[in-house]
Amino acid sequence: MFLPNWLKHYQKEQLNGDLIAGIIVAVVLVPQSMAYGLLAGLPPEVALYSSVLPLLLYAAFGSSRTLAVGPVGLMSLMTGATLIEMGVTNANEMVSTAHTLALLIGVILLLMRLARLGSIINFLSHPVISGFVSASAIIIALSQMKHIFGLDIPRGLPAYQTFYQFISQIQHSNLAATVIGISSLILLWAFKTPLVKFLHKINISEGATQFISKSGPLAAVSISTFGVYFLNLNAQHQVSIIGKIPAGLPELILPNLDPSLIKELLPYAILIALIGYLESVSIAKSMASQKRQKIDSNKELIGLGTANIASAISGGYPVAGGFGRSMVNFTAGANSPLASVITACLVGLTLLALTPLFFFLPKAALGAIIVLAVLPLIDAHTLKHAWTYDRTDAFSLLVTFFTVLIIDVESGIIAGVIISIGLYLHRSSQPHIAIVGQVGNTEHYRNIDRHNVKIDQQILAMRVDENLYFANTNFLEDTVMRLVADNKAINHIVLICSSISVIDTSGLESLDNILYRLNKANVKLHLAEIKGPVMDKLRGTDFLNNLGEKSVFLSTHQAMLALKVEN
């Protein structure tokens, strides 16, 4: 019988941590997932269904022991945006399209596993991700203003237009909704640091403190629901409420497999799959490293892929590993995916027995939960850091950030990838080339611009600080020929290859050209400090035959000694 690894080696002493973590995560997950469903424009039960079966599948196939899978902000935002861009407005059609989207995402992740394409996410640089996540968090927070202030702002507008609508409508706020929204925000904020400090002060045990501080969303939901119910705010003051959630566990369904729908959804699904995978892997890695555990990115693709397929066939929408909840799970002491199994069971119980309790739950409170969940994602630190450390990275970050805010999420991520690859290639197309000289009478050779060194007028020793590949071969060739044209005394050039790990075909041809052109100009070329793998490839090429193995030196110093004798 198939049993996941963690279950085969399960130890009794892990159970306590898993049980407590599983309960705490469920307490966070139930209100949060309803809020994320709202963000995607889907009914709350769809989000709750996404919090049962997917968790079990991830527990069976994923590689992280503590990643808490379920509805997350970014995926909900992107799902909602996809539905709007496709012009799907009918409620039933929105739900069924969301199922198909989750199915496609699951299949894409499994195909990525088969094609070993997991490493594709490496092309998203940290600054691009930071700009993307910050801007998305702002969009998500802005999108909740209509719930918190009880306004009527259409969904799917670019962020600046949402903001404009919010400002221009704010005088029409619903007072009751605003009171609920703002007090929920204050309550949720108070449950974080202030409450923890207070509980520590009155010597509550660490476990109880943990539990109490994480139940902020539950408290906000309970208090605001009771408030609405007792004061009849929904009827008398038009406060938006969740309404009826059908009771019962999710039923298995077959998502809509209409080929034209699939074709239309595909580009969105690819992008959402990549983002979800990226988010989950980053979170899983940062937790695993703290316990010296490994994350297998291939297993992650299978875990997330099956979780999304499970969500699709059990009436849910796209899921991923959530940052906040995973941290809750981790700090609450989860030792294994059993914690997620317990969470799933509790969400299932909620669906079976507790849905009537949510009838009067005001959307303003859910909006406040989302805002507090996404605010920590706004990351000014990376920008500040990139600005002082590497201005081009800061530039990529800002381009991504503003493209997301002004156009949309998809354009932002694509612009970010293109700009960061372009800037990297541009930088490596003009590599640092140092002319080096001898330090005193040592065997060390250093940059003549940075050190006080001796040079020989007839022998030019230069170090290229980059691989030789198509984008920079012209630059190298031009630099060498310019140096030769400018210094008529030179009759030997030593190319120091200590930084060269790859010479591609263009690089090799360029070396050929350089050799040919230097020969025509009566200058001899030599190489020094070539790495083993590079030399292996050069052996047998015309270039090396023309150059002669005698012109290849192990060290710069050996080259300089030999050439001085020759002169």
**Is 43 in a helix, a strand, or coil?**
coil
Interacting residue with its own copies among 504, 546, 557, 562 (CB under 8 A) = 504
Grouping H, G, I as helix, E, B as strand and the rest as coil, residue 144 is coil
Q: Which helix (H) or strand (E) holds 403?
A: helix 391-406
Query: In this chain, which of 447, 462, 557, 562 binds its own copies, going by CB under 8 A?
Result: 447
Q: How far apart, in Å, are the Cα atoms of 400 and each of 198, 494, 541?
A: 40, 43, 44
**Contact present, 101 and 257 (Cβ < 8 Å):** no
309 binds its own copies (CB under 8 A): no
Residue 474 is a binding residue for its own copies (CB under 8 A) = yes
User: Contact, 142 vs 166, CB < 8 A?
Assistant: yes
| Interacting positions 52-81 with its own copies (CB under 8 A) | none
557 touches its own copies (CB under 8 A):
no
CB nearer to its own copies: give 168 or 487: 487
> How far, in Å, CA of 263 to CA of 270, rounded?
11
Stretch that binds its own copies, among 79-87, 103-111, 134-142, 430-438 (CB under 8 A): 430-438
Pairing of strands 69-70, 320-321: antiparallel
Q: Which is nearer to its own copies, 350 or 510 (CB)?
A: 510
Residues 6+ positions from 56 with CB-CB distance below 8 Å: 310, 340, 341, 344
> Tokens at residue 292, please?
């010296």
φ, ψ of residue 156 in degrees (nearest 5): 80, 10
Residue closer to its own copies by CB (options 122, 441) is: 122
**Is 423 within 8 Å of 127 (Cβ atoms)?**
no
Which range, of 186-194, 355-363, 454-462, 526-534, touches its own copies by CB under 8 A?
Answer: 526-534
Residues 340-369 that bind its own copies (CB under 8 A): none
- Strand, helix or coil for residue 42: coil
Smallest Cα–Cα separation from 30: which of 55, 62, 58?
A: 55
Residue 200 engages its own copies in binding (rule: CB under 8 A): no
CA 426 vs CA 420, 475, 509: distances in Å: 10, 11, 21
Residue from 238, 289, 411, 442 in contact with its own copies (CB under 8 A): 289
Residue (155 or 285) nearer to its own copies, CB: 285
**491 belongs to the binding site for its own copies (CB under 8 A):** no
Q: Which of 90, 92, 122, 203 binds its own copies (CB under 8 A)?
A: 122
Does 424 bind its own copies (CB under 8 A)? Our answer is yes
**418 binding its own copies? (CB under 8 A):** no
Would you count residue 87 as binding its own copies (CB under 8 A)?
no
In DSSP terms, 124 is beta-bridged to: none
9 binds its own copies (CB under 8 A): no
Q: Cβ closer to its own copies: 265 or 386?
A: 386
Count residues contacting its own copies (CB under 8 A)? Answer: 74
- Which of 432, 561, 566, 567 binds its own copies (CB under 8 A)? It is 432
Dmax over CA atoms of the chain, in Å, equals 100
473 binds its own copies (CB under 8 A): yes
Two tokens, residue 345: 């069971």
Query: Is residue 257 part of the contact set for its own copies (CB under 8 A)?
Result: no
Q: Quick check: 541 binds its own copies (CB under 8 A)?
A: yes
Cβ at position 271, least distance to its own copies in Å: 18
CB 253 within 8 A of CB 99: yes
Instruction: By CB under 8 A, name the one of 167, 533, 549, 558 that touches its own copies.
Output: 533
DSSP code for 118: G
Question: Per the structure block, which two tokens stand in for 254?
Answer: 């077959």
Residues 552, 547: Cα–Cα separation, whole Å: 8
Residue from the set 50, 431, 453, 552 that interacts with its own copies by CB under 8 A: 431
Residue (244 or 426) nearer to its own copies, CB:
426
Name the segment binding its own copies (CB under 8 A); options: 78-86, 227-235, 253-261, 428-436: 428-436
The answer to the question of residue 119 lying near its own copies (CB under 8 A) is yes
Q: Which stretch binds its own copies (CB under 8 A): 90-98, 205-213, 248-256, 288-296?
A: 288-296
Written as one letter, the residue type at 407 is I
User: Does 20 engage in binding with its own copies (CB under 8 A)?
Assistant: no
Which residue has 């031009």 as its token pair? 478
502 binds its own copies (CB under 8 A): yes
We find the least distance from the C-beta atom of residue 464 to its own copies, in angstroms, to be 9
Beta-carbon contacts of 230 under 8 Å, excluding residues fewer than 6 positions away, are none
State the DSSP H helix or E strand holding residue 464, giving kind and residue range, or none if neither.
strand 459-464
Task: Categorise residue 528: left if φ over 0, alpha if ψ from -120 to 50, beta otherwise.
Answer: beta
Nearer to its own copies, 232 or 289 (CB): 289
Out of 537, 545, 548, 549, the only residue in the binding site for its own copies (CB under 8 A) is: 537
472 binds its own copies (CB under 8 A): yes
- With CB under 8 A as the contact rule, the residue among 506, 546, 557, 562 that binds its own copies is 506
How far apart CA 382 and CA 398 sit, in angstroms, is 11
CA 205, CA 213: separation in Å to the nearest integer?
12
By CB under 8 A, tell whether 244 contacts its own copies.
no
Q: Which of 203, 254, 389, 489 binds its own copies (CB under 8 A)?
A: 389
